[in-house]
Structure 1
Amino acid sequence: MDCIGLILGVADTVGITHNGISYCNYDKREYAKVPDSDRLKLSFQKYLKEIDTAYVKSGDILMFKFDKEPQHVGFVVKEKKYINLIHCYMQARGVVEHRLDEYWKNRIVAAFTFLD
């Protein structure tokens, strides 16, 4: 599973759809190890609502840049004092949750929420 697969799988599991269609139906699996950043952001803008990064809440999605381009996404989990990130992380070889620290905050390029 990759970071987009996590987002789609969770949406499918909890019954979130786009116009009544499972988000899994929109999955594009033919991409390189380093995704096309334009395609990634355009796809998210097409199927999700872009929101101000200052107002994210639990369940929203953050998009992160690597090598100056959007290449990664993860879920927001807001706690009382902190914001955490749940995402598939290649270095950890699976799904991880950790605090949204300065390293990750400096990589945020966009935030999204589901339309349903």
Structure 2
Amino acid sequence: MQAKQKVVDEARRWLGTPYVHQASVLGAGADCLGLLRGVWRGVMGHEPEAVPVYSMDWSEPQGEERMWAAARRHLIEKSPEDMTLGDVLLFRMRDAAVAKHLGIVSTTDPLRFIHAYSGHGVVENTLSEPWRRRVVACFEFPLEDL
């Protein structure tokens, strides 16, 4: 099976998992970072670093792009225009706020993504224009070793 499809298949296993802040347990609870962490474990193995405790506002008061910096440490950054199956999308939910939401591209025609969304759990949605305009970065898993 193609490595990028493994990412999508693993993310789909999480569909229906309830939204729980800071959680990363398949079927029991996950937030968007917890989903990404779970997919990483399922595809890549052990997580590359411990995740510190984080608040719902992330680093907004400080204006620090902590999630973006962590993604750059462990994923391969690419242009959002080049997004493809299995890529990780980073979203800025409000103008001038820090980027603090993640999703995984699940299909490219039409563009859909899997994410953990407060009040909805882990879901698969169309990457509609309101979501697309919030994408600030795109990354791929370092899959060359798979």
Do they superpose with TM above 0.5?
A: yes
Distance 1:46 1:29 in 2: 15
Amino acid at match of 1:84: R
Structure 1: unaligned runs, 5 residues or longer? none
| Equivalent residue for 1:90, pick from 118, 129, 139 | 118
Task: From 97, 100, 104, give the equivalent of 1:71.
Answer: 100
Could you tell me which residue of structure 1 aligns to residue 137 of structure 2?
Answer: 110
Residues in 2 aligned to 1:27 and 1:54: alpha-carbon distance in whole angstroms:
31
Gaps of 5+ in 2: 1-29
The reply on whether 1:44 has 2:77 as its aligned counterpart is: no
> What's the TM-score once normalised by structure 1's chain length?
0.85
Q: Which has the larger radius of gyration?
A: 2
Is residue 35 of structure 1 aligned with residue 54 of structure 2? no
Percentage of matched positions with identical amino acids: 31
Cα 1:55/1:87, change in 2 over 3 Å: same
Q: Which AA in structure 2 matches 1:13?
A: G
Counterpart of 2:49, as a letter, is Y
Quote the RMSD (CA, aligned, Å): 1.5
How far 1:27 moved relative to its partner? Answer: 3.9
- State the one-letter code of the partner of 1:91: G
CA distance in 1, matches of 2:77, 2:134: 17
Q: Which runs of 4+ in 1 moved over 2 A?
A: none
Higher share of residues assigned strand: 1
How many residues are aligned here? 108
Structure 2 length normalisation: TM-score?
0.68
